[in-house]
């Protein structure tokens, strides 16, 4: 209970929270504060020495002094003095209000005189008639018309609530009418104003001012007036919200002695309410029973429900029985009691308070759910808008074009736009002949290098431009005119371009992004590839050659990058082709999952329509393999007419023929299903699949890659697509980051912390500096930013992008004829069977020799499918050791019990189990081991090119330190059961340093329990927890499971055995035949050096 009436803030009594002095905040004698200025504060938040104990339900939040820290004696005295001062102020204000209060008789006399002099104008009469008042009710209600600051015929006592200081006007804020409030004896004791145009405030207002005493003196208390309405011979008693038309009509039409309260605030006038009820009972006789008529929508308003609960509690204390009138007034759109027509009175049921509040609880839950849904939708809209703005900053082209054309084929103009010694950025839509327009340059150039991100695209470009693909080159002479994927770029010397050579980046945005992928850092070659890229630019320009960067999807971030790697002073020309081919509508399936679209695909094939399908996942329940097998099982005649294209099938001769000659080879198939292996560089122009293009986008490809796939079938008319709402964010980076600067800071922050550990281990270590400002790293963080934002709302951003480039979007939901669950279950079974078969194939495969493994790992080719099981088996043996593999068991979803290699293949799906056990190993070694790992990632790159790329840093040492800091090693005891109190400090520490934990360990701890934090940290090091109940307690004991501990020890023993055999923990492999390239690059990039000292140190670890 609050200890006094609140004191409004003023210039002498400012709010201790927000310093408000306008009266919007309230301060109690016990230092409780109702603060309006910080009304949005959440429970538990602190401000200015106070803590929020109750969040706002609308107007104010409740604060109490923050006693969480020990007070000094001086501070305690100050608080006690302030509390006493506020209490004294409250007493004085209360006494002043009592002294200013006019009696009920005095009020009645003055108000009667005022009302007698006021009219009922036409507007008032019309409004009352509209509300259903009869002429007699209009005459008897006593409502009178007023205008803003209504003039009075004489000067009235300024103590009368509602009279101005001068006494000759009413405090009326706008046009409306006055409702007299009568006490039980019929005396007018107050006025309420009903405004015609209330603006932002309520329609009903007290006619009073803060300097006047509106409340009535009831004994020693001041309480707000209640309105009492007497019929001639009342048949009962009722409570109704309000003081005007509603209680008046209720009394008149139901013949009830009706008591009304402004805003339904009966509970703030408890003594007056009790007095009125006692007198009403004396008048009506009978039992202490009354009716309550709640307003329409009350049951959906939490504050109002709480108010009615307070009223019913008060009535119960008074000894009254009560019931609620209920006519289904759920929402504000329903009728209040005074709005019911007499013919509707029969609908009124009288229910108990328990029934009424049960209805209210149910409605409030629904309202809360709707509010949460609406809030989430608004948050989503706001976030999408914010992300869209950042995406636009990255992609919107601000560069002034050199030329803008509008042609259906770039061959018409390109040869006339390109001049020697220039770098040319060509943006032209897919299908506008970009590749064909380059043929003249390929034919006349003595040297021509074409960079690619996909092998299939490189081979196709070689064929179309008369180039030699990297894998087919037999001599150095053929290297002068060649196509290659970025990882092989170091094999092609820049000097070949130095005599008028041409450098081509087809789908340049994809090539630049691919350079930052894992394949381009094999054996630490990424800085070398980036150096070669710059050297190729420099050599081509130095030799008065040309550079062509072509794509339909080049954006400002790629333009900035191209300009940054171009030799200074070189003209960089942007050529934009505005021509946009007419594009069809896309039938977008907005269902949560794609079973309906898969069913439609089968129906299309049954109807004889040939279908071309993209699935952006190779594996998994909804992956390419599962989709293909589902169709084969549904259509018995389709297997021989199906072509399945993914990385496991790229060496299939049929697939290779298809890639080389898609139009011709596709005539053999009715159903082609592909993973992202050929999302670009392939065109089907034979119209075979135009009526059946399907895309199942599970969240691997981004918006622009999805668009690229749609253009593989030229002239497509019927396109069907399902896109996951959210995609998979890039691994290795905090997915909550948004802007390029945030990502840049994330890497630099982790590096800064971790480099201190490296310096402690190697004192001559040279920390990164210029690497953080390189154009390569700048594009890297921009691309990451774009991907993170896109994947967060993949469907939305993909649809928006497709609309931008001219596709129509028809949103619909496809419902499968046999039901979603049946198809989903069948897909699960199909993938389970494929998964099991692949695991068993691994188990049955042979162990490869060291020479065979090295040949595969250093090959630039896709691995032959027949070698993949053996390769995976051998890698598992290298990673886990025979003992752990033999001990491993796994229960497949089909119920099949697996052991050994097959079990490990499934347990380590995606490599996660191995990574976690490696964490366990590092935690159990000296810190130097983790530091060596981190430096080895840099040393590989330094060994190859003398340079490092900031996006490839690792921070294993910081991770190890973080686990130690959180106390994880203390819990590595499988024999001990732990109680929640044991890991409470771990959880509290993690939450205290949540940003560092998120950065270093990738663990978001703010909204999870201490037990969950403990479990996540244990899981990060490859261990599992088991639980048991605590007798008589809700919590459970936890401990490390004995099996997971045993397996971790086996892994540890395997790693120690490798150590004892003096095999390097991190092998710094040699890149074949690149030393001459590195020395040659010195002519182009003087910064590159061998750094022999670093190489020597790497060899020691």
Whole-number pLDDT of residue 1062: 63
pLDDT at residue 499 greater than cutoff 80: yes
Q: Which segments within 150-220 are labelled E, that is strand?
A: 176-182, 188-195, 204-206, 216-218
Question: In the CATH hierarchy, which fold is given to the domain comprising 101-214?
Answer: DNA primase DNAg catalytic core, N-terminal domain (3.90.980)
Using DSSP's 3-state secondary structure scheme, residue 252 falls into: helix
Question: 826: left (phi > 0), else alpha (psi -120 to 50), else beta?
Answer: alpha
Which H/E stretch holds residue 836? Answer: helix 820-844
What pLDDT was estimated at residue 27? 84
Query: For residue 393, what are the contacts with CB-CB under 8 A and spacing of at least 6?
Result: none
At the second CATH level, the architecture of 585-726+793-813 is: 3-Layer(aba) Sandwich (3.40)
- What is the CATH T-level fold of the domain 216-368, as seen in this structure? Dna Topoisomerase Vi A Subunit; Chain: A, domain 2 (3.40.1360)
Task: Give the model's pLDDT for residue 1100.
Answer: 25
Bridge partners of residue 27, in order along the sequence:
7, 33
Handedness of CA 307, 311, 312, 314 (dihedral sign): positive
Name which of 160, 152, 48, 150 is nearest 102 in CA terms.
160
For the segment 751-771, the average pLDDT, to the nearest whole number, is: 93
What mean pLDDT comes out for the span 27-48? Answer: 79
By the 10 Å C-beta count (0-12 exposed, 13-18 middle, 19+ buried), 524 is classed as buried
Residue 456 has pLDDT above 90, yes or no: no
Reading the block at residue 961, the tokens are 């330190």
Question: DSSP letter at 639?
Answer: G
C-alpha–C-alpha distance, residues 324 and 292, integer Å: 5
Can you say how many angstroms the Cα of residue 378 is from the centroid of all Cα atoms in its chain?
A: 12
Which carries the bigger pLDDT value, residue 155 or residue 35?
155
Q: Which residue ranges make up each domain of the chain?
A: 7-100, 101-214, 216-368, 403-577, 585-726+793-813, 838-1060
Give yes or no for a contact between 209 and 173, defined as CB atoms under 8 angstroms apart. no
Q: Which residue has the higher pLDDT, 10 or 1077?
A: 10
pLDDT at position 1068: 34
Looking at residue 652, its pLDDT comes to: 87
Q: Evaluate if residue 682 carries a pLDDT over 80.
A: no
The Cα angle at residue 207 between residues 204 and 208, in degrees rounded to 5: 135
pLDDT score, position 39:
73
Tell me the backbone φ, ψ of residue 216, rounded to 5 degrees: -95, 150
Q: What are the structure tokens assigned to 536, written together?
A: 């190729």
pLDDT number for residue 1020: 97
Please check whether the two domains, 403-577 and 585-726+793-813, share a CATH topology.
yes
pLDDT surpasses 60 at 485:
yes
Lowest mean pLDDT across 52-61, 296-305, 970-979: 52-61
pLDDT band for 680, please (50, 70, 90 cuts): low
Q: Compute the residue count for the chain.
A: 1101
Query: Quick check: 575 and 562 in contact, CB under 8 A?
Result: no
- Which residues in 217-242 are b (16+ Cβ under 10 Å) and which e? eeeeebbbbbbbbbeeebeebbbbbb
615: Cβ–Cβ under 8 A, 6 or more apart, which residues?
A: 622, 623, 624, 627, 673, 674, 675, 695, 696, 698
Which residues are paired to 978 by β-bridges?
1038
Q: What is the enclosing helix (H) or strand (E) of 549?
A: strand 546-551
Calculate the alpha carbon distances from 1032 to 368, 390, 561, 984, 1081 in Å: 34, 54, 65, 20, 73
Nearest to 744 by CA among 564, 951, 957: 951
- From CA 338, how far away is CA 133, in angstroms rounded? 10
pLDDT of residue 59: 73
Q: Which residues of 611-647 are buried (b: 16+ CB within 10 A; e: fewer)?
A: bbbbbbbbbbbbbbbbbbbbbbebbeebeeebbbbbe
How many other C-beta atoms can be found within 10 angstroms of the C-beta atom of residue 804? 10
1 pLDDT higher than 70: no
**What is the predicted pLDDT for the residue at 677?**
76
Per-residue pLDDT, 1096: 28
CA dist., res. 841 & res. 838, Å (int): 5
**Looking at residue 52, what is its pLDDT?**
87
Share of residues in the chain with pLDDT > 70 (%):
93
3-state secondary structure 950-1000: HHHCCCHHHHHHHHHHCCHHHHCCCCCCECHHHHHHHHHHHHHCHHHHHHH
Q: How confident is the model at residue 21 (pLDDT cuts 50, 70, 90)?
A: low
**Which of 27, 25, 28, 21 lies closest to 39 in space, CA to CA?**
25
Closest to 227 in 3D by CA, of 240, 214, 213, 212: 240
Cα(998)–Cα(420) distance, rounded to whole angstroms?
Answer: 51
Cβ atoms of residues 699 and 620 within 8 Å: no
CATH fold of the domain at 403-577: Rossmann fold (3.40.50)
Helix axes 868-880, 900-907, angle to 10 degrees: 90
Look at phi and psi of residue 264 and say left if phi exceeds 0, alpha if psi is from -120 to 50, else beta: left
| pLDDT given at position 70 | 54
Mean pLDDT of 429-454: 93
Sole residue written with tokens 């692949």: 838
- 185-235: per-residue pLDDT in tens? 999 999 999 999 988 778 899 999 888 888 998 888 889 999 999 999 999
Q: pLDDT tens digits, residue range 871-914? A: 999 999 999 999 999 999 999 989 999 999 999 999 999 899 99
What local confidence, expressed as pLDDT, does residue 432 receive?
A: 92
Range in 14-28, 481-495, 957-971, 1079-1093 with the lowest mean pLDDT = 1079-1093
Looking at residues 409-417, what average pLDDT do you find? Answer: 95
Q: What is the mean pLDDT of residues 622-649?
A: 93
pLDDT band, residue 2 (cuts 50/70/90): very low
Specify the DSSP class assigned to residue 584: -
Question: What gap in Å lies between CA 517 and CA 470, rounded to an integer?
Answer: 20
Helix or strand holding residue 575 (H, E): strand 572-577
Measured CA distances, 825 to 615, 620, 822 (Å): 19, 13, 5
The tens digit of pLDDT for each residue in 1070-1096 reads: 333 334 444 444 444 433 333 333 232
Query: What does the alpha-carbon distance between residue 745 and residue 1043 come to, in Å, rounded to a whole number?
Result: 41
Distance of alpha carbon 889 from alpha carbon 882, whole angstroms: 13
pLDDT at 781 over 70: yes
pLDDT of 259 > 80? The answer is: yes
More confident residue, 931 or 454: 931
The pair of three-digit structure tokens given for residue 270, joined into one six-digit string:
């408890």
957, pLDDT greater than 80: yes
Residue 636 predicted with pLDDT over 50: yes
How far is CA 966 from each of CA 417, 924, 961, 1001, 1017, rounded to the nearest angstrom?
63, 15, 9, 11, 9
pLDDT band at 472 (very low <50, low <70, confident <90, very high): confident
């Amino acid at each position: 209970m609050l200890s006094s009436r609140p004191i409004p803030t003023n210039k002498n009594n400012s709010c201790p929270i927000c310093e408000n002095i306008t009266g919007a905040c309230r301060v109690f004698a016990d230092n409780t504060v109702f603060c309006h200025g910080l009304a949005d504060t959440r429970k538990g938040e602190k401000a200015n020495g106070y803590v929020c104990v109750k969040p706002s339900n609308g107007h104010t939040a409740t604060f109490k002094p923050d006693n969480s820290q020990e007070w000094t004696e001086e501070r305690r005295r100050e608080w006690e003095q302030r509390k006493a001062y506020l209490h004294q102020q409250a007493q004085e204000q209360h006494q002043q209000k009592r002294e200013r209060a006019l009696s009920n008789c005095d009020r009645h006399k003055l108000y009667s005189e005022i009302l007698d002099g006021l009219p009922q104008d036409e507007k008032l009469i019309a409004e009352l008639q509209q509300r259903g008042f009869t002429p007699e009710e209009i005459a008897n209600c006593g409502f009178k018309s007023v205008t803003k600051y209504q003039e009075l015929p004489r000067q009235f006592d300024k103590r009368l609530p509602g009279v101005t200081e001068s006494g000759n006007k009413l405090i009326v804020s706008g046009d409306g009418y006055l409702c007299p409030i009568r006490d039980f004896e019929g005396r007018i004791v107050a006025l309420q104003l009903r405004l015609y145009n209330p603006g932002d405030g309520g329609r009903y207002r007290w006619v009073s001012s803060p300097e006047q005493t509106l409340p009535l003196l009831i004994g020693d208390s001041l309480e707000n007036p209640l309105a009492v309405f007497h019929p001639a011979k009342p048949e009962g008693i009722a409570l109704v919200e309000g003081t005007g038309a509603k209680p008046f009509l209720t009394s008149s039409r139901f013949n009830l002695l009706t008591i009304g309260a402004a805003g339904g605030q009966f509970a703030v006038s408890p003594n007056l309410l009790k007095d009125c009820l006692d007198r009403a009972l004396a008048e009506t006789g009978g039992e202490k029973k009354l009716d309550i008529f709640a307003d329409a929508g009350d049951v959906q308003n939490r504050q109002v429900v709480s108010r009615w609960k307070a009223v019913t509690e008060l009535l119960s204390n008074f000894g009254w029985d009560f019931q609620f009138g209920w006519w289904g007034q759920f929402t504000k759109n329903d009728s209040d009691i005074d709005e019911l027509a007499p013919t509707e009175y029969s609908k009124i049921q009288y229910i108990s308070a328990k029934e009424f509040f049960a209805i209210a609880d149910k409605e409030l839950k629904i309202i809360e759910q709707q509010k949460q849904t609406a809030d989430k939708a608004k948050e989503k809209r706001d976030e999408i808008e914010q992300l869209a703005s950042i995406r636009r900053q990255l992609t919107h082209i601000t560069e002034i074009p050199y030329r803008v054309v509008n042609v259906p084929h770039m061959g018409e103009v390109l040869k006339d736009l390109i001049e020697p010694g220039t770098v040319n950025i060509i943006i032209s839509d897919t299908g506008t002949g970009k590749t064909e327009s380059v043929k003249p340059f390929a034919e006349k150039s003595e040297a021509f290098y074409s960079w690619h991100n996909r092998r299939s695209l490189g081979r196709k470009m070689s064929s179309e431009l008369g180039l030699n693909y990297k894998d087919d080159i037999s001599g150095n002479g053929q290297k002068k005119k060649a196509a290659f994927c970025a990882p092989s770029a170091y094999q092609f010397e820049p000097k070949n371009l130095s005599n008028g050579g041409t450098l081509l980046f087809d789908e340049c945005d994809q090539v630049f992004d691919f350079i930052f992928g894992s394949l381009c850092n094999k054996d630490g070659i990424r800085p070398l590839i980036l150096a070669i890229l710059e050297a190729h630019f420099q050599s081509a320009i130095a030799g008065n050659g040309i550079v062509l960067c072509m794509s339909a999807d080049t954006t400002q971030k790629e333009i900035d990058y191209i300009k940054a790697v171009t030799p200074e002073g070189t003209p960089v020309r942007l050529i934009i082709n505005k021509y946009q081919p007419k594009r069809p509508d896309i039938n977008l399936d907005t269902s949560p999952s794609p079973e309906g679209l898969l069913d439609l695909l089968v129906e299309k094939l049954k109807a004889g329509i040939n279908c071309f399908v993209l699935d952006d996942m190779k594996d998994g329940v909804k992956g390419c393999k599962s989709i293909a097998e589902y169709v084969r099982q549904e259509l018995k005649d389709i297997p021989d007419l199906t072509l399945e294209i993914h990385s496991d099938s790229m060496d299939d001769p049929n697939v290779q023929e298809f890639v080389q000659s898609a139009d011709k080879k596709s005539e053999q198939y009715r159903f082609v299903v592909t993973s992202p292996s050929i999302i670009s560089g392939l065109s089907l122009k034979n119209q075979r699949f135009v009526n059946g293009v399907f895309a199942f986008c599970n969240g691997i490809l981004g918006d622009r890659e999805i668009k690229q796939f749609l253009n593989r079938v030229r002239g497509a008319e019927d396109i069907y697509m399902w896109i996951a709402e959210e995609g998979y964010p890039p691994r290795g980076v905090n997915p909550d980051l948004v802007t390029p600067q945030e990502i840049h800071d994330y890497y630099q922050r982790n590096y800064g912390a971790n480099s201190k550990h490296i310096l402690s281990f190697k004192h001559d270590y040279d920390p990164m500096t210029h690497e953080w400002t390189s154009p390569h790293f700048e594009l890297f963080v921009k691309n990451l930013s774009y991907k993170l934002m896109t994947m967060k709302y993949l469907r939305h951003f993909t649809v928006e992008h497709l609309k931008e480039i001219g596709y129509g979007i028809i949103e619909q939901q496809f419902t499968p004829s046999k039901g979603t669950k049946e198809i989903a279950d069948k897909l699960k079974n199909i993938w389970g069977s494929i998964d099991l078969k692949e695991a068993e194939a691994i188990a049955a495969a042979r162990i490869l020799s060291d020479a065979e493994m090295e040949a595969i790992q250093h090959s630039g080719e896709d691995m032959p499918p027949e070698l993949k099981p053996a390769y995976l088996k051998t890698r598992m043996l290298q990673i886990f050791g025979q003992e752990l593999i033999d001990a491993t068991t796994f229960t497949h979803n089909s119920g099949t019990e697996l052991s050994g290699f097959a079990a490990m293949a499934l347990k380590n799906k995606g490599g996660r189990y191995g990574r976690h056990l490696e964490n366990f190993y590092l935690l159990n070694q000296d810190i130097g081991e983790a530091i060596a790992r981190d430096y080895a990632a840099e040393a590989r790159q330094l060994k190859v090119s003398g340079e490092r790329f900031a996006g490839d840093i690792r921070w294993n040492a910081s991770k190890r330190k973080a686990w130690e800091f959180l106390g994880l090693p203390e819990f590595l005891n499988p024999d001990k059961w732990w109680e929640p109190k044991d890991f409470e400090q771990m959880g509290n520490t993690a939450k205290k340093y949540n940003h560092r934990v998120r950065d270093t360990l990738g663990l978001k701890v703010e909204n999870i329990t201490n037990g969950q934090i403990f479990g996540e940290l244990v899981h990060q090091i490859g261990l599992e927890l088991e639980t048991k109940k605590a007798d008589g307690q809700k919590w459970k004991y936890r401990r490390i499971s004995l099996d997971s501990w045993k397996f971790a020890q086996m892994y540890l023993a395997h790693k120690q055995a490798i150590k004892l055999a003096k095999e390097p923990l991190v092998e710094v492999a040699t890149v074949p035949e690149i030393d001459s390239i590195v020395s040659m690059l010195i002519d182009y990039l003087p910064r590159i050096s061998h750094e022999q000292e670093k190489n020597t140190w790497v060899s020691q670890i």
